[in-house]
Amino acid sequence: MKLTEMTVKSYMDLLNSDAPAPGGGSASALCGAQGAALVSMVAGLTIGKKKYPLDQDLCIEVAQKTSALKDALTLQIDKDTEAFNLVSDAFKLPKETEEDKAKRSKAIADATLVATRVPFETMRLCLETLHYTKALIGHSNTNAASDLGVSALNLIACMKGAWLNVLINLGGLADEAQAKDFRAKGEEMVKLAQQDADYVYKATLEIL
């Protein structure tokens, strides 16, 4: 059964167990999906409200975009666990002969690349969602201001958690130039995400 098809309780019990997956990567993606859902909700709670006539077009766009991002981040929950399982299965391959060893090494390298790309994609989706969250500050239903702040907190947790899952795999990448590229782009995304999240959280406190 996919993680996203479980009840909340079943998922939490599995996360709490000694099972190697799901782990931090899937948990980070879940934070991101929650953050995107909250932004979409706030935008939706502004659409049609006479008090916000100048914000309707923006909120319609944000509601549509972040709803799609919520779906994409939800898919990342299972993708991260699947990527971990690929790596785990690769390490279990036989290594009796030189041919076995070569196949095993390639399988590990390929799986590690997948396990790096998945949380990296989570980061990209998260940063895009944070941009939309920031865009709603001052342009959305003030009765849902706290929800926008909680969205930002979920999204920065997603970003930093996914980044940790990228970092833990970088050392296993066969291509050093590729690893450096992941690191440079990842560090920049974390920086930008922190700026957006801080802005949203501080603005939310001022509104409240």
For each successive 10 residues of the chain (208 residues), what is the average pLDDT?
Answer: 94 93 95 98 97 97 98 98 94 92 93 97 98 97 96 98 97 92 98 98 95
Percent of the chain predicted with pLDDT > 70: 100
Radius of gyration, alpha carbons of the chain: 19
pLDDT of residue 106: 92
CB neighbour list of residue 139: distance below 8 Å, 6 or more residues apart: 46, 52, 54, 55, 58, 59
Q: How many residues in total does the chain contain?
A: 208
pLDDT of residue 127: 98
pLDDT of residue 174: 86
CA distances to 39, 172, 186 from 100, in Å: 49, 19, 34
Neighbours of 85 (CB within 10 A): 14
pTM as predicted: 0.94
- For the chain, domains (ranges, CATH) are 23-207 (1.20.120.680)
